[in-house]
Amino acid sequence: MNNNTQQGIVKWQSPANIALIKYWGKAGHQIPANPSVSFTLNNAHTEMELQWEVKPESNELDITFFFEGKENLKFRQKIADFLQTRVVQYPFLKTLKITIHSENSFPHSAGIASSASSMSALALCLCSLENIFLNTLNDESNFFHKASFLSRLASGSASRSVYGGLVTWGKIDGLENSSDEVAATLQAPTHDIFKTYQDAVMVVSRSEKATSSRAGHALMDAHPFKEARYTQARSNMQALIKAIAEGDTNTFGRITEEEALTLHGLMMTSEPSVLLLLGNSLEIIHKLRTFRNEKRLPICFTIDAGPNIHILYPAEVKKEVDSFIVAELAQLCESKYWIADHVGNGPKRLK
Ligand code: PMV
């Protein structure tokens, strides 16, 4: 660092992602029990600005956190807890007064998971700080590799948000550079049709999740179906990679839906049982399947750990699918609210 530099600002925009093969269950500290793959989204993102200033005393972390313009102590605690785990590697953190302003492009109460976009944005800001203070991340590929590593430690699925397009995380047989520690752009051929995918999120409920994903992952430890699930996820990953290479939208849809329903099946059959789907979630799935059978269009759904249904389809059928959503599905969403998104290119440095 230039010794005259006493303060500065770093700012990143980082997207949410939606998993196709689901990460559900851990095999150690922030190590996934099975590999996962997701689409990085475009419109749903977090913008995080981190202001820093060297302070006279350097002993404790000094963090103030504003979410959408208001000081937020709950989020501050989450971020402080994570940064506390980093002070051994980054002793400079204790020498700084840090003020963070964070905003999401999607409404806070939209029932959309924000941990992937917010924790990856934080990790990217942290990597920018590492470069300012330690000058170790000038190489772009090292920078994002480190950002993915740090994102994973904060929230597993966030590791996939630092890259655009289709992104894998977790060791995959046959994929040389795949790793449980960092995510990477899918290292296999991708048919052009999957570069145009749309994600229309049917917001069935805007309420916050009743069960945290941390608690959800833990329920897999004693789950009676756990070994079968991890075997299924590995084999689905191989089949999905093949379908993505071949442009096989039917197989893609079949596996993607199986993964979503498996995730919810696992939650429903865990002890205690977790039931997040609502009546309208099922109604949307039935309507979508009827529409697909009638129109023979390449459209499928996936679901995160919540009641909202993500409808996935290539851009070439957007007009027809969006008309169907407006006519038949919007009324099943809370306040008729749904979000149109699509595959995106990954994070952007803003400052
Ligand atoms: O990253 P976490 O710990 O919030 O877990 C995310 C789990 C799912 O969103 C349900 C699946 C996934 O792979 O993103």
| pLDDT tens-place string over residues 268-325 | 999 999 999 999 999 999 999 999 999 999 999 999 999 999 999 999 999 999 999 9
Residue 67, helix vs strand vs coil: strand
Q: Which amino acid is at 296?
A: R
Residue 182, helix vs strand vs coil: coil
* 235 has pLDDT over 90: yes
Q: CATH number of 192-342: 2.40.30.10, 3.30.70.890, 3.40.50.720, 3.75.10.10? A: 3.30.70.890
What is residue 109's predicted lDDT score, i.e. its pLDDT? 65
Task: Flag the least confident range among 43-57, 106-120, 334-348.
Answer: 106-120
CA of 241 to the centre of ligand 1 (A): 20
Pocket test for ligand 1, best of 23, 166, 214 (most atoms within 8 A of CB): 23
What is residue 208's predicted lDDT score, i.e. its pLDDT? 75
* 130 has pLDDT over 90: yes
Mean local confidence (pLDDT), 8-28: 97
Tokens 């002793």: give the residue: 91
CA of 22 to the centre of ligand 1 (A): 7
Using an 8 Å Cβ cutoff, are 285 and 310 in contact?
no
Distances (CA, A) of 200 to 71, 213, 252, 305: 31, 22, 17, 16
Class level of CATH domain 7-189: alpha beta
Query: Which band of pLDDT confidence, cut at 50, 70 and 90, is reported for residue 110?
Result: low
Pocket test for ligand 1, best of 20, 24, 119 (most atoms within 8 A of CB): 24
Domain with CATH 3.30.230.10 in the chain: 7-189
Using an 8 Å Cβ cutoff, are 166 and 129 in contact?
no
What is residue 56's predicted lDDT score, i.e. its pLDDT? 86
Domain with CATH 3.30.70.890 in the chain: 192-342
Residue 165, helix vs strand vs coil: coil
Using an 8 Å Cβ cutoff, are 225 and 269 in contact?
yes
**Percent of the chain, pLDDT > 90?**
91
**Is residue 189 reached through a cis peptide bond, with omega within 30 degrees of 0 on the bond before it?**
no
- Residue 212 CA: which ligand 1 atom is closest? 4
- Residue 115 CA: which ligand 1 atom is closest? 4
What is residue 209's predicted lDDT score, i.e. its pLDDT? 72
CA of 17 to the centre of ligand 1 (A): 10
Residue 86, helix vs strand vs coil: coil
Which residue has the CA at smallest separation from atom 4 of ligand 1?
A: 213
Residue 150, helix vs strand vs coil: helix
Query: From CA 18, how far away is CA 303, in angstroms rounded?
Result: 8
Mean local confidence (pLDDT), 337-343: 96
- Residue 155 CA: which ligand 1 atom is closest? 1
Pocket test for ligand 1, best of 155, 180, 213 (most atoms within 8 A of CB): 213
Beta-carbon count within 10 A of 193 CB: 16
Name every protein residue with a CB atom under 6 angstroms from any ligand 1 atom: 19, 22-24, 36, 115, 155-157, 213, 263, 304-305
* 114 has pLDDT over 90: no
Query: Which band of pLDDT confidence, cut at 50, 70 and 90, is reported for residue 4?
Result: low
CA of 135 to the centre of ligand 1 (A): 32
CA of 158 to the centre of ligand 1 (A): 8
Pocket test for ligand 1, best of 21, 157, 270, 277 (most atoms within 8 A of CB): 157
Q: Decide: residue 198, CB within 10 A, 0-12 exposed, 13-18 middle, 19+ buried.
A: buried
Q: Which amino acid is at 46?
A: T
What is residue 305's predicted lDDT score, i.e. its pLDDT? 92
Mean local confidence (pLDDT), 252-269: 98
pTM of the model: 0.96
45 CB-near residues (< 8 Å, 6+ apart): 13, 14, 15, 16, 104, 105, 117, 344
Helices (H), 213-317: 213-219, 226-246, 249-268, 279-295
Q: Which amino acid is at 239?
A: A
What is residue 106's predicted lDDT score, i.e. its pLDDT? 86
Running DSSP on this structure, what letter comes out for residue 183?
E
Interval 57-69: pLDDT, tens: 878 999 999 999 9
CA of 331 to the centre of ligand 1 (A): 28
Top-confidence residue, 106 or 304: 304
* 141 has pLDDT over 90: yes
* 113 has pLDDT over 90: no
Query: From CA 238, how far away is CA 302, in angstroms rounded?
Result: 18
What is residue 102's predicted lDDT score, i.e. its pLDDT? 97
* 3 has pLDDT over 60: no
Q: Which amino acid is at 309?
A: I
CA of 20 to the centre of ligand 1 (A): 11
Beta-carbon count within 10 A of 81 CB: 11
Mean pLDDT of the chain: 95
* 179 has pLDDT over 60: yes
Calculate ∠ Cα 136-161-214, nearest 5°: 105
* 93 has pLDDT over 70: yes
